[in-house]
Amino acid sequence: MQPIRVAVLGAGTVGAEVANQLLSRAADLESRVGAPLVLAGVAVRDLDATRRPALPKELLTTDAESLVLGAHIVVELIGGVERARELVLLALESGADVVTGNKALLATHGPELFAAADRVGAQLNYEAAVGGAIPIIRPLRDSLAGDDVRRILGIVNGTTNFVLDRMDEHDDTLEEALADATRHGYAEADPSGDVSGTDAAHKAAILAGLAFHTRVPLASVPVEGIERITRDQIRASRETGHVVKLLAICERLTGPDGKEAVSARVHPALLPRRHPLASVRGANNAVYVEAESAGSLMFYGAGAGGPETASAVLGDLVSAARRHVIGGPGLAAPPSSGLPVIDAGLVSSRYQISLTVRDEPGVLARLASIVAEHDVSIETAQQTRAAAGGTATLVIGTHRAPEAALAAVVTALGGAPEVEAVAGVLRIEGE
């Protein structure tokens, strides 16, 4: 068989790992593909090789365009959006197959890229974009292709799961846990994209688009990070038998017009400790899928890391190469279901609202009437007198109600004279 020329774009942790495995495991990979995989080159921004000691200098190039145009399969691992989009489009338009782990690129330009791939019958594989080494893209795209996915709850960001797990296990503050994540290499120097939920939002948009066969623009995904999660909230969640997790939630639901719609969102949530996702510890990821016929499925594993992500990239690469060997076009993106994304305010949730209130008679009654005015009903209310200071803590658990109503309730409660502070608001999921 003719050798298959592979271009690797980017020599970061994952890019270097993929390039090195292509070199060191060449015979093994050839036996799986049925043809040799040849590393045509690695595109880098600058040729300062000191940062990439393990890669042979003669394979490095700054001319990504030429590398792409001479390759059968292009592996995009440079990250970022604009430059990556240019190079992926160039690759697809020249007929090359593309493997990428770039979640930001897919979340913002996915439909454009899938259309470009379909036009020329090229493959666009992206198993590494969500859940690191955990196979989740292919199961959703192919294995569940004949089922109706109702809901996905995903722990898709390892850094934030590590942080929340430390806070739960070691009673750390957010700052302590984050420092610990950095020390263990689970958080980057600037972890803001993780902590703010942005990384999880990219993945939620990708998963929702795939599960519901529709376009879910990143701008339609409401995001709340873990910045405001306090040790007190974690302690309180323990007491009620819950655990706090940052969840990517994708749901198929009925819109106000009675028609089906979808929602994708990211926020911290209280999960019952017996929920399968509650036991996902450390920097691990897991995706919990509820489908009409298949019931509940869970996919679990390491969500990040160089070798783990490289495993997903190489799986995509071998799949693309096998298709290249036997001929025929890549599997096209499935036709769109056209399901609309529902307005975020219409999604129903249950809230747990923690308030610091004046410790005087009648407070609960007055606050309960504020909640009722917004057509939200209270399921539980628990008041605990503070040790001193004339204040008490009131934790209100609501029944399911639209987000917009719940947000209005929180605002109204915050403005009530009896309320000194809204100590925290958490949604409850998985019950």
Indicate the annotated binding residues: 9-16, 103, 188
Looking at beta carbons only, is 226 or 333 nearer to a second copy? 333
| In contact, 154 and 202? CB cutoff 8 Å | no
Q: What are the binding residues for NADPH? A: 103
Give me the catalytic one of 57, 203, 245, 259.
Answer: 203
Could you tell me if residue 203 is left (phi over 0), alpha (psi between -120 and 50 degrees) or otherwise beta?
A: alpha
For residue 70, count other CB atoms closer than 10 A to its CB. Answer: 13
- The residue length of the chain stands at 431
CA distances from 45 to 2, 5, 309 (A): 30, 21, 21
Strands (E), 211-259: 242-254
| In contact, 154 and 287? CB cutoff 8 Å | yes
259 is catalytic: no
Instruction: Compute the least distance from the CB of residue 307 to a second copy, in Å.
Output: 4
Instruction: Compute the least distance from the CB of residue 172 to a second copy, in Å.
Output: 22
Contact footprint for a second copy (CB under 8 A): 17, 21, 28-29, 31-34, 121, 127, 133-135, 137-139, 142-148, 213, 276, 279, 291-302, 305, 307-308, 310-319, 322-323, 325-329, 331-332, 334-335, 337
| In contact, 378 and 399? CB cutoff 8 Å | yes
Looking at beta carbons only, is 276 or 397 nearer to a second copy? 276
Q: How far apart are CA 284 and CA 427, in angstroms?
A: 22
Q: What are the binding residues for NADP(+)? A: 9-16
Instruction: Compute the least distance from the CB of residue 308 to a second copy, in Å.
Output: 6
| In contact, 303 and 158? CB cutoff 8 Å | yes
Looking at beta carbons only, is 12 or 135 nearer to a second copy? 135
Place of tokens 């338009």: 93
At 58, the amino acid letter reads E
Instruction: Compute the least distance from the CB of residue 293 to a second copy, in Å.
Output: 4
Looking at beta carbons only, is 192 or 279 nearer to a second copy? 279
Tell me which residues are annotated as active site.
Answer: 203
